[in-house]
Each structure stands twice: as structure tokens, then as C-alpha cells.
Amino acid sequence: MTGKVLTGLFIALMLLSFLGACEDAKAEMITIVDGRGQSVDVPTPVERIASISSRASEIICALGACDKIVGRDSYSFFPPALADVQVVAESSYTPNIELIHKLDPDLVIADSMLSNDDRKKIESAGIPVIVETTWDSKTVATPVRHIGILLDKADRAEEIIGFIERYQGIIEERTAGLEEEDKPAVFFEWSRPYYSMGNGTLFHNLTVAAGGINIVADEPVKYPTMDPEWLVEKDPDIIIRYDYSTEKGNLTDNMEKTRDEILSRPELGDVKAIVDGRVYILGNPVASGIRSVVGDLYLAKWFHPDLFKDIDPEAVHRELLQKFFGLEPDGVYVYP
């Protein structure tokens, strides 16, 4: 009887130990307050991600977790390792719900273009969705930190954030004492002639952070189309064209053509930026996401060359790519 009792106790203890191990193996739930301000419960470990935000995809890869991306949007082609990943959305604005459900990822990461209806459809299959704002260098630290926590890459996330904030700090320190009259008047153009960006936009923030004045800031809409006559009257010191076509790294001659088109507009012939040749092309890859700090540095140097003589934005871009992606720069992202 004693032997049977001991055997029973041993079996019971083994069973309890097994159940405890199973309990430990259960997914830990991490709650993230995403870019919408919504609390999202995400079971971890996260092994399969559908990233339908190109800048979120960059963050995941910079964290060293590119292999966890099993679905992407059509704009997620950097780093090149993403080329073979299945496309499940053109962008967050147009996700293929059926394909995402079929992939059954542990997590979907989207940007603010994802509608509430589409988010709910994705979540209906039990897939958590976090929506993050990954464009602005001033706020990109938050999604980097969130994704780092979810992927158990918190230390790497802080390393990325530290890199960004180091150069942001240089810009802030050197432009902090500027008087208004020392700041150049800047006109940002994107997508088509005279289509610009007002207060509250990424490019307004870029301009202000780099020590410039966005001459469109007081317009009543965020994305106004301005009259050429208005621009002549404002007489900006600098014109910057934001170029989506450089997403994959454009050729210098293409960017030169874009710049030449602006310089040759007859209606702008007497504008200070045209006369002085201070017209620049800024490519999308270095204007948003974790690489936007590179764009910050280019703008700061264009605006205040004397304050940033010792800063080489191209070298910083190379350092970032080598450090977090193991890559060398491939393409031309600004001109001239």
C-alpha cells in the first residue's frame, strides 16, 4: 500500500510539474497603447508578422527580426530581404483581408491609413492589430520601443532610439538660439507643382526642427495648393521638393530633371530661392521613419550651412544602414 501511495504521489507531482511547464509555455500577454491611443493585447512570443506599413517593416528589420515578416504591403521593399515576402496590401489603406486571414499572423502592424472597419475585419479572426505613426523622426521612438518590446528586442530598440536622438540633439542644440530673422523661409512642394504642406504635417515639423520657417504654416488646410503669384509674393529663401519616386533610390539625372523643372519655371524667375539656386530634392526614404533623422540633418545643413559644416548627412546615413541593417547606401536620396 505504501508503495502504491508513493507511486501515486510521484505521478501526481509529475503531472503538476507538467501542467506548470505548460502554463509557463503559454503566451505572455503584453499590452501596448498604440498610436491611436488604443490598448491592444498581444500574445507573445510574436513569430509571424504582417507588416502593412513600410516604415514599420524597416523598424522590424532594424531590430533584427526581418525573418518574422510573413506578409507586407507593396511599399515594404527596404531592406531588399523583404522582396520575397508575400504582399498582402498595397498599403494600410487597402489591406487584403482574406490574404491576411489566410496567413494567420500573430500580429498585424499598420499605419494610420488603416480604417477602423478594416481593422475590425482583421481582428475578427483573432489577430491583434497595432496602428503606429512611424513617419516623423520626432515621434518614431514610440513605435520603435513598442515593436522592440513585442519582439523581445527592447535593448536593440533603445540603441536605435539613441542613434536618432543623438543627432536630433545636435540639431536642437545648434538651432536653439536662432532669431526669427536668422531662419530661412521655406516652401515645401510635393506630388505636383505648388502642392504644399501646412501646420501639423510631417514636413512642417521637419522644417521647424531644422531651424526654418514653413511659409505655408498659416494656411487653413493642411495640404494646400498655392498660386504661383502667392509664392512670388512670399519670396522664399529655399524651395524643397519632396520626391516619392526616390523610394527605391533614384538616379541623379532624374532628380536633376526635377530640380531643373522648378528652376526653369518662368513665373518664379525672380524668387530668391531660384536666383540663389537654393532648390533641393529630398527623397522619401530619408524623410520618414527611422531614417528621417538623415533628412533632418540634410535640411539643417541646407538651412544653416555654417552651423553644420562638420556634419555629413550622407555619412550618417551610411552609419545607420551599416549599424542596423548591415547594408551600404544604394541609390541617391537627395539632390544636389
55-83 pLDDT, tens digit each: 999 999 999 999 999 999 999 999 999 99
Boundaries of every domain in the chain: 27-152, 178-335
Alpha carbons 93 and 89: distance in angstroms, whole number:
8
Q: What is the pLDDT of residue 25?
A: 45
Q: What is the pLDDT of residue 82?
A: 97
Q: What percent of the chain has a predicted confidence (pLDDT) above 90?
A: 82
Q: What is the pLDDT of residue 16?
A: 47
Domain at 178-335, CATH homologous superfamily: Nitrogenase molybdenum iron protein domain (3.40.50.1980)
The stretch 263-279 carries a mean pLDDT of 98
Q: What is the pLDDT of residue 245?
A: 64
Lowest-confidence pick of 96-100, 187-191, 310-314, 322-326: 187-191
User: Does residue 13 have a pLDDT over 70?
Assistant: no
Domain 178-335 in the same topology as domain 27-152: yes
Q: What is the pLDDT of residue 21?
A: 46
pTM, 2 dp: 0.89
- Mean pLDDT for the chain overall: 91
Q: What is the 3-state secondary structure (H, E, C) of the chain?
A: CHHHHHHHHHHHHHHHHHHHHHHHHCCEEEEEECCCCCEEEEEECCCCEEECCHHHHHHHHHCCCHHHEEEEECCCCCCHHHHHCEEEECCCCCECHHHHHHHCCCEEEECCCCCHHHHHHHHCCCCCEEECCCCCCCCCHHHHHHHHHHCCCHHHHHHHHHHHHHHHHHHHHHHCCCCHHHCCEEEEEECCCCECCCCCCHHHHHHHHCCCEECCCCCCCCCCECCHHHHHHHCCCEEEEEEHHHCCCECHHHHHHHHHHHHCCHHHCCCHHHHCCCEEEEEHHHCCHHHHHHHHHHHHHHHCCCCCCCCCHHHHHHHHHHHHHCCCCCCECEEC
- What would the pLDDT profile of 234-247 be if each residue is shown by its tens digit? 999 999 999 876 55
Alpha carbons 35 and 142: distance in angstroms, whole number:
8
CATH architecture of 27-152: 3-Layer(aba) Sandwich (3.40)
- What would the pLDDT profile of 140-198 be if each residue is shown by its tens digit? 999 999 999 999 999 999 999 999 999 999 999 999 999 999 999 999 999 899 999 99
Residues in the chain: 336
Confidence at 331, pLDDT banded by 50, 70, 90: confident
